[in-house]
């Protein structure tokens, strides 16, 4: 097993890409070389890694030669465009887009939940949707104690989910509105500053948007529970970074809140944040920049004997995207699950 790896980040200049660069450095991922790839617009831009400036390159098939791991976060169409070239170059693609998540041959991995699924990869491992990752790490420890029968979730999603430009746009909107001017709306269909709206992804014939269907289908795949009942309502809120979720759970049996609290305290990837006296619970401001998903306000559902309510906030760019991808890379390297194209073809 090599003791260090040639890594490329596709989408290195974006909100998640820049976080990937920082996390690889902060977590001391064993890197032999780091390639930073983006669109031709960014070619030549310098980004810093371990005190050295690295010039961003435009993505090309040649760029993947000799690369062991590609962390991709440049949108679904870019992932689809380059996946074959990445796999043919012998690299493992850890893909942050939704392009391959529901393909049966592509593992969809949250390392705290289903690490072993990664072993079966055929050159691509998908990083789940951000709200799905945050919900999965919070629900999995409870599901291990008493099976969850039904999940009803409402999300409060920050601008960061739509990328770096969208975050800047919310700030511009706030300034424009305060100055009495018309706010710019390029990344979003409506002003998000001082407003909120249902998630702006296409709506299906049942009335669910794409983001809601991702939460439903991806959670079932990650938990390996194809029949799990889930309903979701996804809302964008004028928060810059970190998503929050109000989650109602129905278990097969009553689940005492105190026991759920202990389970969250003991689980990896989550942190119990509750001060009932001070009315202090998870907030996106506190979740920002943190690895753990903050979980709190765990209480019995007054409307159902087997019900629990909980509230969480988690950094969408970190655990919801970049951190989860880096954890997958760490897992694959630790378990020696990198495969040659010949091994994948067998
Ligand atoms: P660029 O900065 O050159 O546009 P975000 O999610 O924050 O919007 O970031 C998206 C990332 O994906 C950026 O790094 C962006 O690069 C990159 N990207 C977008 N379109 C392409 C493309 N067609 N080819 C390669 N990279 C792309």
Whether ligand 1 lies within 6 angstroms of the CB of 27 is answered as no
The pLDDT value given to residue 301: 98
- Best of 9, 13, 21 for a ligand 1 pocket test (most atoms within 8 Å of beta carbon): 13
The pLDDT value given to residue 346: 81
Whether ligand 1 lies within 6 angstroms of the CB of 165 is answered as yes
Whether ligand 1 lies within 6 angstroms of the CB of 269 is answered as no
| Tokens 């983006």 belong to residue | 38
DSSP string, 246-279: EEEEEESS---HHHHHHHHHHSTTEEE--BTTTT
Ligand 1 atom 22 nearest Cα: 39
Ligand 1 atom 1 nearest Cα: 39
Cα(79) to centroid(ligand 1), Å: 11
Which member of 121, 143, 199, 243 is catalytic? Answer: 243
CATH topology for 132-316? Answer: Dihydrodipicolinate Reductase; domain 2 (3.30.360)
Residues of the chain with CATH 3.40.50.720: 5-128+321-345
The pLDDT value given to residue 55: 98
**Between the CA of residue 2 and those of 88, 106, 346, what are the distances in Å?**
20, 25, 22
Which member of 121, 130, 199, 234 is catalytic? Answer: 130
The pLDDT value given to residue 128: 98
The pLDDT value given to residue 1: 64
Instruction: Determine whether 243 is an active site residue.
Output: yes
Whether ligand 1 lies within 6 angstroms of the CB of 153 is answered as no
Q: Identify the CATH number of the domain defined by range 5-128+321-345.
A: 3.40.50.720
Cβ-proximal residues to 60 (8 Å cutoff; 6+ apart), any chain: none
Ligand 1 atom 12 nearest Cα: 74
The whole-angstrom separation of Cα 127 and Cα 324 is 7
Residue ranges of the chain whose pLDDT lies below 70: 1
Ligand 1 atom 4 nearest Cα: 39
Instruction: Determine whether 234 is an active site residue.
Output: no
Cα(286) to centroid(ligand 1), Å: 28
Residues of the chain with CATH 3.30.360.10: 132-316
CA dihedral 118, 30, 128, 290 (to 10 degrees): 130
Ligand 1 atom 2 nearest Cα: 13
Locate the ligand 1 atom nearest the alpha carbon of residue 59 and give its number.
25
CB neighbours of residue 57 within 10 Å = 19
Whether ligand 1 lies within 6 angstroms of the CB of 164 is answered as yes
Show the CA angle centred on residue 306, arms to residues 304 and 308, nearest 5°.
Answer: 80
Whether ligand 1 lies within 6 angstroms of the CB of 59 is answered as yes
């Amino acid at each position: 097993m090599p003791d260090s790896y040639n890594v490329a980040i596709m989408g290195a200049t974006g909100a998640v890409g820049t976080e990937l660069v920082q996390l690889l450095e902060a977590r001391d991922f064993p890197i032999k070389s780091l390639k930073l790839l983006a669109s031709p617009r960014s070619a030549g831009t310098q980004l810093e890694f371990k005190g050295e400036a690295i010039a961003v390159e435009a993505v090309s098939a040649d760029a993947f030669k000799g690369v062991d791991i590609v962390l991709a976060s440049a949108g679904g169409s870019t992932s689809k465009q380059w996946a074959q070239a990445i796999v043919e170059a012998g690299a493992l693609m850890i893909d942050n887009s939704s392009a391959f998540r529901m393909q049966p041959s592509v593992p969809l991995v949250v390392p705290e939940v289903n690490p072993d699924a990664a072993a079966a990869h055929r050159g691509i491992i998908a990083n789940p949707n951000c709200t799905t990752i945050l919900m999965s790490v919070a629900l999995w420890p409870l599901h291990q104690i008493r099976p969850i029968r039904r999940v009803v979730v409402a999300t409060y999603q920050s601008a960061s989910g739509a990328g770096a430009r969208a975050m800047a746009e919310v700030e511009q909107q706030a300034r424009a509105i305060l100055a009495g001017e018309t706010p710019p709306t390029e990344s979003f269909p409506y002003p998000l500053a001082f407003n909120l709206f249902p998630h702006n992804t296409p709506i299906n014939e049942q009335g669910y948007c794409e983001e809601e269907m991702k939460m439903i289908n991806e959670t079932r795949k990650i938990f390996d529970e194809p029949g799990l009942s889930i309903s979701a309502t996804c809302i964008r809120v004028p928060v810059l970074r970190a998503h929050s979720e109000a989650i109602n759970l129905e278990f097969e049996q009553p689940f005492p809140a105190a026991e759920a609290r202990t389970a969250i305290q003991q689980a990896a990837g989550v942190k119990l944040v509750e001060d009932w006296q001070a009315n202090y619970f998870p907030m996106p401001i506190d979740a920002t920049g943190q690895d753990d998903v903050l979980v709190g306000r765990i209480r019995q559902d007054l409307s159902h004997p087997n019900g629990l309510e909980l509230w969480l906030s988690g950094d969408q760019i970190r655990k919801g995207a970049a951190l989860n991808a880096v954890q997958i890379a760490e897992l694959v390297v630790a378990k020696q699950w990198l495969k040659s194209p010949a091994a994948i073809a067998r």
